[in-house]
Every structure is written in structure tokens, then in C-alpha cells.
């Protein structure tokens, strides 16, 4: 177990969105406000971590030929728990995300980590893998939300904060806050909060990540050629 390597893999080298290209549907569909992205990211992080722990704990007694079915049953159980808790405690988030919470059951990120990591490693290592992979997913969602909300709506912190027009004070509201306006209403490009905006933003993030990851390799190759 190498926590530092697992952290770097989750954030950069094996980021589930920008490197492994998993969970594309929810990534592009719900990243229109910070409230949605943060809620989805934390939900996936919790489900991924708990699923990894239980699958790692049961890995020696799960029959190999039905392991995928067992993974789905475990994941579905935790998704149901999270879905019901959101409906009870944060109904605005549950309503905003809609079917994308139940669809976490078939999210390739969670099923992929169960197959590739937790089924083959210890509980401790699987716990860290779930946390770091979930953190990498959440960070990408937040970045996409900030970009799309700012360019498409001219606001930031949508669904979390807004400025009271009468008092000028910040008001916190889960799912009800309109966000803090940064750009005048006439400036934003509304296409950024439409599906095309999700594709463009995600493409730019993937390209940026690949550039960052490949830059050291190109520099090393250039040095070898120079020698």
C-alpha cells in the first residue's frame, strides 16, 4: 500500500474522468451549478469508498464467476441508502440530480474500481483508493461547474450562496441560492450550460490533463535525443 501513489493516481495519473474517461454522462449532465457538482461528487465518493471497503472485506468469499453481480448488489445497496438520505435531508439536491443518483449503480467508476482494485487488495488500501478516486472525480466536477456556471450564467456558487439585494449580505441556501453574480446578465454565453458546453469544457480539461501528464515524457525524450 502506497498512500502517496494512490493519491497522485486519483488526482492525476489515473483520474477517473480525465484519464480513464469514466462516468462521462453524469459529468457532463449535472455540472451546471456548484451545488449539483459538489453534491454528486460527494455522493459518488461516499458510495465508492463504502463499496470498496465491503467488497475488499468479502473478496475471499465472493465466487469469481458471479463477482460482477455481487459488486452490483453491494453498490446498489449503498446507492439506495445515499439516495434515501438525500431525499430526507437535502431534497433540493435529490430533485436537482434526479435519476443520476440511482444511476450511480451502473457508474463505471465504481464498478471499475471494484473489479480493478478492491477485489484484489486489502480493506485499508481499498479505502484509500475509494477516497482518492472519489476526490479526483469530485475535483473535476467542481472545476467543470465553476467554468460552466461562470461562462454560462455569469455567477459562482450557484445553489449555495447569493447576495441579499436589500442588506447586501451573503445568504446560504441549499439548492435555493441563485449564486453570486460576477458578470452582467447580458454577458454570459448560455450555450455553456447546455449539453454542448459540457462537451467543450470536458474536452478542454482532458486536453489540459494529457498535456500536463505528457510534458515530462516529451522533455525526457528530448534530452535522450540530445545526448
Q: What is the pLDDT of residue 16?
A: 93
Mean pLDDT of 148-172: 87
Q: What is the pLDDT of residue 209?
A: 93
* Helix 34-58, helix 123-153: angle, nearest 10: 170
Task: Provide the mean pLDDT of the chain.
Answer: 90
Examine the pLDDT at 52 and tell me if it is beyond 70.
Answer: yes
CA distance 10 to 35: 22
The string of pLDDT tens digits covering residues 59-68 is: 999 999 999 9
Examine the pLDDT at 1 and tell me if it is beyond 70.
Answer: yes
Domain boundaries, the chain: 3-150+193-226
Lowest mean pLDDT among 97-106, 110-119, 161-170: 161-170
Q: What is the pLDDT of residue 63?
A: 92
Q: How confident is the model at residue 224 (pLDDT cuts 50, 70, 90)?
A: low
Mean pLDDT of 202-209: 94
At 172, phi and psi to the nearest 5? -90, 135
Lowest mean pLDDT among 41-55, 110-124, 177-191: 177-191
Amino acid at each position: 500500500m502506497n498512500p502517496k501513489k494512490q493519491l497522485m493516481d486519483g488526482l492525476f495519473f489515473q483520474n477517473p474522468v480525465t484519464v480513464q474517461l469514466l462516468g462521462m454522462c453524469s459529468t457532463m449532465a449535472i455540472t451546471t451549478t456548484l451545488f449539483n457538482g459538489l453534491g454528486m461528487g460527494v455522493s459518488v465518493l461516499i458510495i465508492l469508498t463504502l463499496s470498496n471497503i465491503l467488497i475488499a472485506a468479502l473478496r475471499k468469499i465472493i465466487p469469481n464467476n458471479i463477482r460482477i453481480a455481487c459488486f452490483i448488489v453491494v453498490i446498489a445497496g449503498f446507492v439506495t441508502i445515499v439516495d434515501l438520505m438525500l431525499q430526507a435531508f437535502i431534497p433540493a439536491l435529490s430533485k436537482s440530480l434526479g435519476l443520476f443518483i440511482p444511476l450511480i449503480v451502473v457508474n463505471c467508476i465504481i464498478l471499475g474500481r471494484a473489479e480493478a482494485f478492491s477485489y484484489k487488495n486489502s480493506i485499508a488500501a481499498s479505502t484509500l483508493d475509494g477516497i482518492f478516486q472519489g476526490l479526483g472525480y469530485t475535483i473535476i466536477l467542481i472545476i467543470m461547474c465553476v467554468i460552466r456556471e461562470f461562462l454560462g450564467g455569469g455567477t459562482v456558487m450557484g445553489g449555495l450562496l447569493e447576495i441579499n439585494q436589500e442588506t447586501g449580505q451573503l445568504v446560504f441556501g441549499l439548492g435555493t441560492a441563485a449564486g453570486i453574480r460576477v458578470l452582467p446578465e447580458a454577458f454570459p454565453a448560455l450555450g455553456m450550460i447546455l449539453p454542448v458546453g459540457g462537451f467543450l469544457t470536458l474536452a478542454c480539461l482532458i486536453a489540459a490533463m494529457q498535456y500536463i501528464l505528457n510534458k515530462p515524457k516529451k522533455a525526457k525524450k528530448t534530452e535522450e535525443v540530445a545526448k
